[in-house]
Amino acid sequence: EDSKASRDSEYYTSFEESDKVATISEERTGELKKLARDPQIYEKLKDSLAPSIFEMEDVKKGILCQLFGGTNKKFEKSQRDSFRGEINVLLCGDPGVSKSQLLKYVHKLAPRGIYTSGKGSSAVGLTAYVTKDPATGEMVLESGALVLSDRGICCIDEFDKMSESTRSILHEVMEQQTVSIAKAGIVCTLNARTSILASANPVGSRYDIGKSVVANINLMPTILSRFDLIYLILDNPSQAHDRRLAKHLISMYFKDVKKAPKAVIPLDVLADYISYARMNVHPKISEEAADELISSYVDMRKLGQQGGRRNVVTATTRQLESLIRLSEALAKMTFSDTVTRENVKEATRLINVATQTAATDPNTGIIDMDLITTGQSSGDRQRLEKIADALREVLESKSKRTNIPIGNLIKTLNENSDKPVSKRDLVSVVLPGLEEEGFLAYNRKKEIVRAL
């Protein structure tokens, strides 16, 4: 790629290595500013993003926020080097709900970005790899997908198919926005200020609403908690919705082209609009917006205390930082220099629609952020603690040298419990915990337990 190559050359690219997008003409700038003054610009931008994809309005609004991004901030007095402005979005749901189509469209629209698939990506392919220069014979560092998409968007399809070692690379990128390399005598830290748009399919290719997000997707809670927005896109049969969807799809193949869905804003104008906003618009939080941010965060936390419940975390400081980033992105859409109260309210709504829906405990219907941050809800923890207490009582009633098969233990526990005790809970959580305490000895091969 060479920004100085002729436009007809295959090596031509529209961005400089300094991360600045190709300059926009004064005439186009005037057109973009006129467009920004339209009171319906938010809806028009949403309708212009992937018009061929049916409905999914809140998902499109979330992706729009990702395209515009928040404001990267550096404060001299702060101990932190920088505050991340990039927004990460995860699309999770059933097959055939146009997740990959959305990713392809965003990759085409984003001023800078890389599209990759989870199955075909390796750790070095995402970060950087060392190779020998054929001319000099010296070791050189070649950039991977995340480094190449610096200041842009990295679209990762089939995120759930990615190997665990490859996925662990994303921890640093999604929070610190850097890639640290120590290979073949080359030690360096590369910038990876990229937004990540990922799509994942549930285990067994069908989302089970009776299970949590962590149980449905084969992803670690540490990765899930780094996404600002997590959208569940489910394929629920509905005659009215199915009819509207069928009409929409057929209109795209129909002979009457006039009826086919068209973007309100042309693709090239939309790309320039996003580029101009990212380069020139850096909104600051107003006093009324700051008050609204505080009250919104407190209200989100209050949900965990309703009905006499305790220790249920419905929002963390990560959600507060996500609120700030989304509010700034919404202000950028109107080329506004300040974040307003309305921007914060819309950002709160987007988080409630997306992430808090994903964090709802299927057993209780309560929003519990622990599902995403730790993989277990507070209700599950309490239930497992009760099982552990019941197991202690059973083992204390037996002699210490008696070996008890796990099957017999489960049968005994189920006789004295209101809720069924599964072998998975006992083997994966309760027994290892009591073994660490030194209360029992657990033989995994023979599946027997002995009290100590």
- What is the per-residue DSSP string for 14-83? SB-TTSPBPPPPHHHHHHHHHHHT-TTHHHHHHHHSSTTS---HHHHHHHHHHHH----B--SSSSSS-B
CA distance 89 to 228: 6
Structure tokens at 188: 């360096």
Residue 291: pLDDT band with limits 50, 70, 90: very high
- Helix or strand or coil: residue 265? coil
Total Cβ atoms within 10 A of residue 14: 14
pLDDT at residue number 15? 47
Indicate whether 256 pLDDT > 60. Answer: no
- Sheet of strand 448-451, all strands in order from the earlier edge strand to the far edge: 403-405, 448-451, 440-443
Task: Look at 189-198, 259-268, 286-295 and tell me which has the smallest mean pLDDT.
Answer: 259-268
Query: 329, 105, 263, 126: which is closest to 199 by C-alpha?
Result: 105
Which 3 state secondary structure label does DSSP give 157? strand
Q: Are 68 and 23 in contact (CB under 8 A)?
A: no
User: Would the pLDDT of 263 be above 70?
Assistant: no
Q: Tell me if 192 sits within 8 A of 201, measured CB to CB.
A: no
Residue 374: strand, helix, or coil: coil
Give the per-residue pLDDT at 329. 92
> Tell me, what's the pLDDT at 16?
46
Instruction: Return d(Cα 123, Cα 144) in angstroms, integer.
Output: 9
Would you say 129 and 87 are in contact if contact means Cβ atoms under 8 Å apart?
no
pTM, entire model: 0.76
- Confidence class of residue 432 from pLDDT cuts 50, 70 and 90? confident
Of 3-17, 192-206, 219-233, minimum mean pLDDT range: 3-17
Cα 158–110–351 angle (5° rounding)?
65
Closest CA to 67 of 267, 349, 345: 267
- The Cα 133–Cα 257 span in angstroms is 53
The pLDDT assigned to 21 comes to: 45
Please report, in angstroms and rounded to a whole number, the separation of the first and last CA atoms in the chain. 67
Q: Residue 159: what pLDDT?
A: 84
* pLDDT single digits (tens) 136-175: 888 888 888 888 888 888 888 888 888 877 777 888 888 7
> Which residues are CB-neighbours of 258 under 8 A, at least 6 positions away?
none
Q: Which residues contact 102 (CB under 8 A, 6 or more apart)?
A: 50, 53, 56, 59, 63, 91, 199
pLDDT band of 4, cuts 50, 70, 90: low
Q: Is residue 148 within a helix (H) or strand (E), and if so which, with residue range?
A: helix 145-148
Tens of pLDDT, residue by residue over 45-74, are: 888 888 888 778 888 899 999 999 888 776
**Helical H segments across 196-286, by residue range:** 213-216, 221-224, 239-253, 267-280
Closest CA to 130 of 145, 142, 144: 142
Would the pLDDT of 364 be above 60? Answer: no
Segment 265-280, tens digit of pLDDT = 888 888 888 888 888 8
Tell me how crowded residue 357 is: count the other CB atoms within 10 A of its CB: 15
Gap between the Cα atoms of 283 and 342, Å rounded: 14
- 10 Å Cβ neighbour count for 196? 25
Range scoring the smallest mean pLDDT among 5-14, 84-93, 182-191, 385-394: 5-14
| Distance (Å, whole) CA 218 – CA 161 | 9
